[in-house]
Structure 1
Amino acid sequence: MLCGDMPAEAVATANLISDMDQLFDGVNASTPDLRRGKKFSTNIKRSTEHLQMFTKMKHFFSSLEFLGCKGNPPSKEGWIWTLNGIEMIWRTFSSKYKTVESLSTRRLQQDPLENLFGCIRYNCGSNNNPTVAQFVAGLKTAVISNIAHTNSGNCEADSNSAIITNFKTLLTPAPDLCTETEQCHMEKDIDENITSSLEENLEEGSGEVQACAYVCGFIIKKNKNNCSHCKKNFVSETPEEVHNFIEFKNYDDVKKSLTYASKSLIACVEKSASVINIFLEKEAYKEDIKKKAIQLLKDSINYGFLEDCVEHKNYNKMYIINSVFHIVVKRYCIQKNRFYAEESSKTALKRKMNIVMHK
């Protein structure tokens, strides 16, 4: 046997691979023109040979036998049903509507749906049995997390990023904001729920505030504003009690690699996060939550510590608001999804235990 030649018994395998490659091209066609020189990657047209190839492959699947198996795997019949369905769609539309010149078979498959579900699981954690409300909340979280740029599925990219980006209208339409009465009730709830001992917590360096200080360091690092006056407002000159967690995370005691946020910024972010959490508990199911939450932060949070730099005051204010909103909403949705997943697991376990006891 010469180097590079295949044995004669490999011909059957090579033919099978070639036929399956053509079949996958035929059910995944997405262009009206020839792509990569592969004729079945082109959309189905009156002049193409897709239907002849489908007939050949249906005969192949119907006569296919699996040695050592007690029965046929579902994919065998599944392929035949799929090819029959594509043929029926093409013949129906091409005969009734003369303006239909081609059929993109890629648009008949579920890859876009699988990619969407994969993005939601990637951004929101896995929930095997979500309710409608949980799924909508997961979708909103994925949109906030920039779903169009998430590539976490096992399917080929479906080129639907423009369509997915349009889902942001879930958050950005501009219907009437809540009424003055609703706004007053919301602000009253915020005043009653947000602890009045925030300054005391800052001094004592409670665990929750220390975690907030760590997040503030991340917010500072992502800020593109390099103004020295703004830096004085954002960064603490010396580490304090509230920075204990950051001190623990810092791998170098001499060269401080992490950012130590000022108490003013920590207090602002901590109160803003509390405001958004209270808002979400009451309003998360409604539309346009982003605009409402941002307006609430503008009205209820004191940004006086930004007055030292008039030039960048508004920029810094909106940067803090948007940063806190995106961080808190994502964290809130992940926690809710985990909670409902745990509740679902408990319910399933309880159901199984009841079945066992009845037996």
Structure 2
Amino acid sequence: MKESYFNFKDSYMKMKVKVAARQLSQTMAAAIETFHSSGHLKSDSLHTAEFCHLMDNLFDSLNSSQVRNHEGRKFRSALSGNSPHLEFWYDMLSKINRWKIFDKQGKLRNNFKFVDGWLTSIRAIILLWKKLQLQGITFLNLRNLNQDPLENFFGQIRQHGVCNTNPTCQQFVAAMKTLIINNLSSPLSKSRNCEDDFYEFLGNFGKFIEKYSDTIDQTPETSCSNTIVDTPDSTDEIFLEQNYATAYVAGYILSKVDVLDCVQCRNNLFSNDVILNQHLFVTFKENDERTRLNYPSERSAQLLV
């Protein structure tokens, strides 16, 4: 989250879907619940956290890209006959119809088009799924229904050259030919409004012309040392907010590290007690009762400070 996501000095910022997706995410809900548990927020803040959970699930349910759920997020899976999507959508249709939206002056407004957009999208997908089931379709990845690949492609066309924002037909064709040869590998803009679509060409021109050479990967042997880094035994002097974030980031780093099969190493890197105060935010980030995230020890968290 950034300060610019709440203070819209840039008129284009409030048009970006990713801003709303991050404001109404599970991470935001976990942060609110964490500060409520620590006494920094009042009890009515939990209503905001509940709304963030609902919207996060709604985004997930309409943006699935895998057949099975991803890391316990049941709505991130593909739509199927026994998936929870339909029951959730019918419940959201009734909730969205009861939304009351007020403007900055506190007046009730009914002219927000995004409400009708949500209702239309949900009803259209339910109708489409019923028709696909009659054709024998067993599952549907809903990310395939959005226009992100097309927007990403046009974005790469606009990046071809210095600033190709308004190309002619000839310039568009030339840029498209170059992108095809480069296998659409030009980097996407940081200010884009779409997620990576992860689509690839069936053929790769780069592999056609590259030369292969036989190389032997000589990986040096790793050894486990009994030397432990001398770090402070307590993080009491760290601010509570920083402590929550540090523990979460340390756990993410540990998930990317290939830890040796050494009991002493794991005992020093990971915490055996997941109920430590510094792990409060990490526990709220779990998608269900199963433990999937890493809980670092105080030594590991201290190394990031």
Higher helix content, 1 or 2:
1
Q: Normalized against structure 1, the TM-score is what?
A: 0.42
Higher radius of gyration, 1 or 2: 1
